[in-house]
Amino acid sequence: MRVLVTGASGMLGGAVARLLVDRGHSVTTLQRRPSGVDGATDLRGSITDAEVLKDAVRGQDGIIHLAAKVSFTGRAADFDNVNIEGTRRLLAAARAASVPDFVFVSSPSVANSGAALVGLGAGPADPARAHGDYARTKGEAELLALAADSLDFRVAAVRPHVVWGPGDTQLVERVLARAARRRLPLLDSGAALIDTTYVDNAAAAIAAALDRMDRVHGSAVVVTNGEPRPVGELIAGICAAGGVPAPSWAVPGAVARGAGAVVEKLWLWAGRQEEPPMTRFLAEQLSTAHWFDQRRTRELLDWTPAVSLDEGLERLAAYYSPGSASLSNQ
């Protein structure tokens, strides 16, 4: 099968592309910087460029779309341009090229208004109630993608939740950097149960969606390891793997959520490019339960996680161990 993977320079996109290459597929990657995926044909460009997309989709049997603006802060127009308009252009290019299958990689945040999510499935995306421009625009893009589903152009949305693993800069590196500087508190007592997804499991689930498109097209599914853990326990495990002390102090979740909302506005006003230390969305994620019923996902995809959270943490510790090849190449 000939498959286009967008956003393969990211941890999850790269893992998806490598998995497909290992399975013998002909893989093309599209992103703004090199993907580093051996065996794939690397294209450089933006999903907002219609001419680039026209070339990228030509002759493909399937598309897995991961490219997105992922951030806790930034200009709303930038999120709109990449996440909504980029997806719209890619969908149009795919249909014009008669590509039969399209997997849109989304996020559970598209259906989360900030309240706890306990044992739920994939509710409908609700951009109007989503918190933050990332969740809002991913929700809009998911609705666009699923609205395009038909028998001739099958579309599915996969929502992996809190993906982490070796080389992760979105969660792991931020946790370790802030914990090392004693700037990472637990919110409330760190007891909120959350689902997460080890990167290899998320990649396998996304690939399974492309394989099981006859079952899953027209639908959204949430993907997790199915092992809810207290957020404090997960953070402590990441810190132990990275060799830094776990957080030993706490602040009330309500205080963090209020402070995060203020910090977001200050960051945007000041035009700062680095990620803020706290946002409302991040505070919500760290202080409210969010775990999901995985029965429908596993049935539709014919997939189960191969790597447990404990094994994932062992792999993370090996990645950060002194003298490891990963550290020597950094």
Q: What are phi and psi of 7, to 5 degrees?
A: 75, 30
Residues 6+ apart with CB under 8 A from 166: 172, 199, 315, 316, 319, 326
Label residue 306 by pLDDT band (50, 70, 90).
very high
The yes-or-no verdict on residue 328 having pLDDT over 60 is no
- Each residue of 37-72: pLDDT tens digit? 999 999 999 999 999 999 999 999 999 999 999 887
CA distances from 124 to 118, 165, 200, 283 (A): 16, 28, 26, 23
- Considering only CA atoms, which of 25, 43, 140 is closest in space to residue 91? 140
Strands 117-120, 186-187: pairing kind: unpaired
- Considering only CA atoms, which of 1, 221, 185 is closest in space to residue 105? 221
Label residue 329 by pLDDT band (50, 70, 90).
very low
DSSP 85-154: IHHHHHHHHHHHTT--EEEEE--GGGG--SS-EEEE--PPP-TTT-SSHHHHHHHHHHHHHHHT--SSSE
Return contacts of 23-29, CB within 8 angstroms, 24+ apart.
Answer: 23/207, 25/1, 26/1, 26/2, 27/3, 28/2, 28/3, 28/4, 28/56, 28/60, 29/4, 29/5
DSSP 220-237: EEEE--S--EEHHHHHHH
Percent of the chain with pLDDT over 70: 90
Write the CATH number for 60. 3.40.50.720
- Show the tokens assigned to 184: 């990472």
The yes-or-no verdict on residue 283 having pLDDT over 80 is no
- Beta bridge partners, 29, equal 5, 42
**Catalytic choice (134, 198, 319, 320):** 134
Q: Is residue 130 part of a domain?
A: yes
- Show the tokens assigned to 23: 């399975």
What total number of domains does the chain contain? 1
Q: Is residue 276 part of a domain?
A: no
- Considering only CA atoms, which of 10, 8, 48 is closest in space to residue 29? 8
- The pTM (predicted TM-score) of the whole model is 0.91
Q: Is residue 176 part of a domain?
A: no
The DSSP symbol for 72 reads S
Q: Is residue 186 part of a domain?
A: no
Q: Is residue 107 part of a domain?
A: yes
- Show the tokens assigned to 281: 């969305």
The yes-or-no verdict on residue 163 having pLDDT over 50 is yes
DSSP 283-296: HHHHHS-EEE--HH
CA dihedral 35, 37, 42, 47 (to 10 degrees): -40
CA distances from 168 to 137, 235, 261 (A): 23, 14, 25
Q: Is residue 60 part of a domain?
A: yes
- Report which of residues 128 and 254 the model is more confident about: 128
Does the active-site annotation cover 134?
A: yes
Q: Is residue 329 part of a domain?
A: no
Q: Which of 261-265, 309-313, 315-319 has the lowest mean pLDDT?
A: 261-265
CA pair distance 123, 157, nearest whole angstrom: 12
Q: Is residue 49 part of a domain?
A: yes
The yes-or-no verdict on residue 321 having pLDDT over 60 is yes
Domain hosting 149: range is: 2-164+196-227+292-307
Per-residue burial over 27-64, b = 16 or more CB atoms within 10 Å of its CB, e = otherwise: bbbbbeeebebeebebbeebbbeeebbeebbeebebbb
SS3 157: strand
Strands 117-120, 197-198: pairing kind: unpaired
CA pair distance 11, 174, nearest whole angstrom: 14
- Each residue of 184-237: pLDDT tens digit? 888 877 888 999 999 999 999 999 999 999 999 999 999 999 999 999 999 999
